[in-house]
Structure 1
Amino acid sequence: MTDVTAPEDGETPLRILLLEDNDLDTELLTAILEDAGLAIVIDRVIARDAFAAATATGCHDIILADYVLPAFDGMSALATARQTCPEVPFVFVSGTLGEDVAVEALKHGATDYVTKQRLDRLPRVILRALSEARAHLRRRAAEQALRDLNGSLEQRVAERTRELAEANAALQHQIAERERIEDALRQAQRLEAVGQLTSGVAHDFNNLLTVIAGNIEFLERAVSDERSKRRLDMMRGAAERGARLTAQLLAFSRRQKLAPVPVQLNQTVASMRDLLQSSMGGSVRIEMTLQPDLWPALVDATQIELIILNLAINARDAMAVGGCLTIETANVQLTAEPSRAEEPNPGDYAMVAVSDTGTGIPPEVLARVFEPFFTTKEVGKGSGLGLAQVYGFAKQSGGGVRIETTLGEGTSVRVYLPRVAAEAVPREVRPVEIDCASARDASDKRVVLVVDDDSDVRDITTTRLGEAGYAIREAGSGLAAIQALETDPCVDLAVLDFAMPGMNGVEVATVIRQRWPQIQILFVTGYADHTALSRIDGDGGEDRVVQKPFRGEDLERKVASILDPRPRLTLVSGGGEASARAAGKARG
């Protein structure tokens, strides 16, 4: 290769690869380009190998080629250039290039052509070819940038779409979780409202039953003919059935009196096999799966037996002849928050499950199974209080209930009861008595203050206690009781109704404990908040509560257990020792 001209200082030369065998044509071509004011550097080659090597370097701006060469031809050169440097413009400069050949050359990739007879056109052709090549390069670069941008956009769109999908999934989860919590809250509020209504109804109903049952006892003493006695027996049976009904209502509303003790559920379940088998009537097979190292449960032993029997009877009614009843116990550690009102909170539980192979429970029924009086059984076949009682018992015990059911396959009711972490050490009971020896004769009767807003119930209570040999004083409200004690505090026992307008029984007991701490307290109630009772008189246990309606001589027995065996002490009023007033003291 031979450099024909060099660029002037300060200019960027145009590098031309020239394929030309004629020296005179080379000089003429160079002169024309220089006369046109172009800064050029020409690399001239003649042979095929030199041309191929020059195009492979990729350092030229344009290729000018003769069409006819001694051992080489322009079309072969064009093919080589299109293969090694396709972006470099290729212009034919030939004296023998006909129009047909020129067209064919353009079809094969030549940029343009110039005849040697019209070399004056060459500068314009070169500049146009370079401009088109640069435009083509810019277009290629723009297209590549666009492709890169599209790829980046697609990636960004994909990433954003994924982010939106994740955000949407999280939002849907939050919405579902919120709906679940709202459903659970609505169910809990509904059950709580029904529970409050139920407990109020049970209280009033127990007052009525107390009057009925008490008067039946009084009438029995005056009736002698057998027919009348049979009728009274029927009335007493109806009152007792009513009492059992209110007990179930109180269980649902979590107002029943429980006596929780550590219970080995395995022993409880095993001891009930014969009872359960007789209840099944031989039509249902009973299986038991009892965990050997079961935790003891803190629960009312009598109530849990009733709950298991209740669930077993429900399971029996859901199965055809030949079904299978399974009772299972297990230690369960729960970590998930409850999704329904009846489910237990996280914690350790001793679980007892009653499962059947019956028809299962439809979803619309499952949502209401714990509501009192809701039942799918025929009229007279069930009260609808069974599962409501299970619910109230489990929640009042500090646990919960879960139901797993599949239509056509069966149902499992799991009752979770709080685990006993350690045996409680019973507190030493040191009762304090009242002694009005300075104001009473030794033959005076013990004084009982009966406080109840229901005059009929109060009449039954005072009549029974009066017949039992006690001196009776009455008050129709908590405030009246406090006023009576301020007049004469010489009272041995206050018998308080729990639910009263104004001051309830617990509030009255609180005042008595503060001002006259030696007066004993006994609650007579159709329902009660036993947590509140335990705070006032927690050391008395069952002996401090008599449930309405009275059963047998339960009232008289508990009053006697509080008063009769104890020695008399000195009455303390207002924090100091005081003698009782003689005025206003009650006599038999």
Structure 2
Amino acid sequence: MVIERVITRDEFAAAAHPGRHDIILADYVLPTFDGVSALGIARQQCPDTPFIFCSGTLGEEVAVEAIKNGATDYVTKQRLGRMTRTIVRALAEKRARDDKSAAEAALQALNDTLEARIRERTRELAATNTALQDQIVERERAEDALRLVQRLDAVGQLTSGVAHDFNNLLTVIAGNIEFLDRAVTDERSKRRLDLMRGAAARGAKLTAQLLAFSRRQRLVPTPVSLNQTVVSMRDLLQSSIGGAIQIETTLQDDLWPALVDATQIELVILNLAINARDAMAVGGRLTIETANVTVGETPTRPEQPQPGEYVMISVSDTGTGMTPKVLERVFEPFFTTKETGKGSGLGLAQVYGFVKQSGGGVRIDTVPAEGTSIKVYLPRVAEGAAEAPPALGPALDPRVHPPGRRPVLLVVDDDAGVREVTATRLSEVGYTVREAASGLQALAALDADSDVDLIVLDFAMPGMNGAEAAGEIRKRWPAMPVLFVTGFADTEALAQAGADGADAIVLKPFRDGELEHKVATALAGRASPGLRLVSDRSRNG
């Protein structure tokens, strides 16, 4: 225990500092000043230090007043035995106060930090919740996109199958119309045949649109200047949409060449222009724009382009626009908002299929009652690769054959009507035609007599399809040329089957002279028939 003793006011004032003493014992009457003054100094300089009076003259009233002024306790000199207990109690109370103050300070600090932690945790939870909401939205968008892709793919598979069967029917119808046209002489029957021919042509157009949507059409990508395409189509577009609609063009000067099928992109532009016309009931403005575009963002819908460089062509109108519900279904085949008989619902489906098959994408910006802008993104030609496509050679006359010999063709098709039309057309231009109703029948016919110059082979047949039949034919007769005939152009499958270029494929229904021309081309490109027959016969005995 350390005791410090002072007598004067100055000494007491100099010693009374917070934390320096555990307790102050003061006489009430001092030589140079009094205990009340000492209490005042202590309350001012070290208010937390216990202060106990000890006096022989302190009366009860004075003692009570002193305690009111801040003294902890008092002890009379007549009863000094109480001093120890008083000091112990005062120190205990001091410790209790200190502990309480420390606890309150700790609690306050905890409250302060707790509030800060709560604020921080609230921010973290808010950020996590926002991220979660973004993930939910993104997941829902991805699921919607996946469902749309699955729905479009399912419809695409269905439409390609329907188009194949429909093209077989159209081949029979159009072929027999052509045969009848040669035999009919009266004008009334001629007019009826013309009506039938027009209906068959419209059916062929519908199936072509179905195949475009299902991405089964055969494309011939070449470097194309979209600026020249738009300029060359202006008169056609104006006549198609009418004089009440003003056409404006905004064409980029240094536009990249696009790698697309030139014929199909013209149909796409025409389709978009007609749709724009139908959206503007009482005239308006149609704007066609071209631009070089670099896409950086990830697509959020299946029709949108992947990141990369594209040549963009947009067709914008000032028409009725689309509602969100219409926008969700706008690329589905046969979906249309037009009146019955005014639209097939295949225009935008054809655009979608062509653009996706070409490696591009589509974006639609629309505002109800204000208008729509449809942007088509097409792959650009790599720098240095924009050469013009090679010129086509002179058309071959299918009636020109080697002297003294009629080429022998084997026509293979499971559809008897199509087979009859094909055989008749080829017979009429001077070929000897044999027929087979399946791949197995074709192989059996060749086993019996392989003196055949060309196989005209249907691609889609039950059992052994055209690809399998062609593979087996090439194994046994490697020099035998094959010309594929198909109601839908599955480009990848045809390439795997050995169809080398557009001249190795004839599409149903047959266009004027296409079948005959490609047969003549295939025959002209093969080796001498006599040499091939010697080779074949030596192999097969």
TM-score by length of 2: 0.91
Q: Give identity over the alignment, percent.
A: 68
Partner of 2:506: 546
Other structure's SS at 1:45 match = coil
1:407-418 equivalent positions in 2, closer than 5 A: 407-418=368-379
Write out per-residue CA displacement over residues 198-232 of structure 1, whole angstroms, 9 at most, x where no aligned residue. 01111111111111111112222222222122111
**C-alpha separation in 2, matches of 1:567 and 1:578:** 12
**C-alpha separation in 1, matches of 2:289 and 2:391:** 38
Other structure's SS at 2:463 match = coil
**C-alpha separation in 2, matches of 1:367 and 1:149:** 55
Q: Which moved more, 1:480-489 or 1:225-234?
A: 480-489
Other structure's SS at 2:223 match = strand
Pairing 1:458–2:419 present: yes
Partner of 2:535: 577
Mapped contact 1:452–1:500 kept (Cα < 8 A): yes
> Match of 2:253, as an amino acid?
P
Mapped contact 2:450–2:537 kept (Cα < 8 A): no
Partner of 1:198: 159
Partner of 2:259: 298
Provide the alpha-carbon RMSD of the alignment: 2.7
Pairing 1:131–2:92 present: yes
Mapped contact 1:490–1:571 kept (Cα < 8 A): no
Write out per-residue CA displacement over residues 358-392 of structure 1, whole angstroms, 9 at most, x where no aligned residue. 22211111000000000011111111111001000
Partner of 2:105: 144
Partner of 2:16: 55
Write out per-residue CA displacement over residues 34-82 of structure 1, whole angstroms, 9 at most, x where no aligned residue. xxxxxxx2x2223222111110274211011233445533333223212
Which is higher, the Rg of structure 1 or of structure 2? 1
1:137-536 equivalent positions in 2, closer than 5 A: 137-421=98-382, 422-423=384-385, 443-536=404-497
> Match of 2:343, as an amino acid?
G
Other structure's SS at 1:44 match = coil
Question: Against the structure 1 CA distance between its residues 456 and 80, is the aligned structure 2 distance closer, same or farther, given a 3 Å change threshold?
Answer: same
Other structure's SS at 1:500 match = coil
Aligned partner (choices 28, 31, 45) of residue 6 of structure 2: 45
**C-alpha separation in 2, matches of 1:113 and 1:245:** 114
Mapped contact 1:544–1:558 kept (Cα < 8 A): yes
Q: Which moved more, 1:301-310 or 1:516-525?
A: 516-525
Q: Post-superposition shift, 1:517?
A: 2.9
> Match of 2:147, as an amino acid?
R
**C-alpha separation in 2, matches of 1:365 and 1:517:** 54
Pairing 1:102–2:63 present: yes
Question: Against the structure 1 CA distance between its residues 358 and 109, is the aligned structure 2 distance closer, same or farther, given a 3 Å change threshold?
Answer: farther
Question: Against the structure 1 CA distance between its residues 191 and 138, is the aligned structure 2 distance closer, same or farther, given a 3 Å change threshold?
Answer: same
Partner of 2:398: none
Question: Against the structure 1 CA distance between its residues 122 and 496, is the aligned structure 2 distance closer, same or farther, given a 3 Å change threshold?
Answer: same
Q: Post-superposition shift, 1:240?
A: 0.9
Mapped contact 2:24–2:51 kept (Cα < 8 A): yes
Other structure's SS at 2:53 match = strand
Q: Which moved more, 1:507-516 or 1:126-135?
A: 507-516
TM-score by length of 1: 0.84
Q: Which runs of 5+ in 2 are unaligned?
A: 393-401
Q: Post-superposition shift, 1:335?
A: 2.7
**C-alpha separation in 2, matches of 1:170 and 1:141:** 42
Partner of 1:21: none
Question: How many pairs were matched up?
Answer: 532
Q: Post-superposition shift, 1:561?
A: 2.8
Question: Against the structure 1 CA distance between its residues 277 and 84, is the aligned structure 2 distance closer, same or farther, given a 3 Å change threshold?
Answer: same
Other structure's SS at 1:56 match = coil
Q: Which moved more, 1:160-169 or 1:359-368?
A: 160-169
